[in-house]
Amino acid sequence: MSEKIRAQLIMEVLGKPKEYVHEIIEEIKKELEKESDVVLISYNIGQPKEIKDSPGFFTGFLDVEIEIEKIETLLAMTFKYMPAHIDLIYPEKIHFANVEVAELLNF
């Protein structure tokens, strides 16, 4: 696959206290910025908010748009960062040979 891939990922963090949740979100952003195969296009940090049904617990998020060269990078990121949501922005269609799919599945 030669065309670059652009994707949106949303990582959610749940915990307490509020400051710890914010700190973890910032750490995730810094780790993404260090990824050699990832270009961080944009990001938005959702400030931690208290969960109504769980007093004392907070939830926040990091919404990022990234650009990568290989689908394998995105697959690795799903295991490393466990995003709650992934949206492939482009390309609209991705074509793989059966050998490429086998390599992804055996990654």
Question: What gap in Å lies between CA 74 and CA 93, rounded to an integer?
Answer: 16
Per-residue pLDDT of the chain (107 residues; tens, 9 = 90+): 568 999 999 999 999 999 999 999 999 999 999 999 999 999 999 999 999 999 999 999 999 999 999 888 888 899 899 999 999 999 888 777 888 778 777 76
Residues 71-85: tens digit of each pLDDT: 888 888 998 999 999
DSSP state of 32: H
CA separation for the pair 42, 44 (Å, rounded): 7
Q: What is the pLDDT of residue 2?
A: 63
State the pLDDT at residue 3. Answer: 83
The alpha carbon of residue 56 and the mean position of all alpha carbons in its chain are separated, in whole angstroms, by 26
* Residue 98, pLDDT score: 82
Q: Are 13 and 45 in contact (CB under 8 A)?
A: no
The structure's pTM equals 0.85
| Cα–Cα distance, 106 to 102 (Å, whole number) | 6
φ, ψ dihedrals at 96, nearest 5°:
-130, 145
Mapped onto helix, strand or coil, the DSSP state of residue 10 is strand
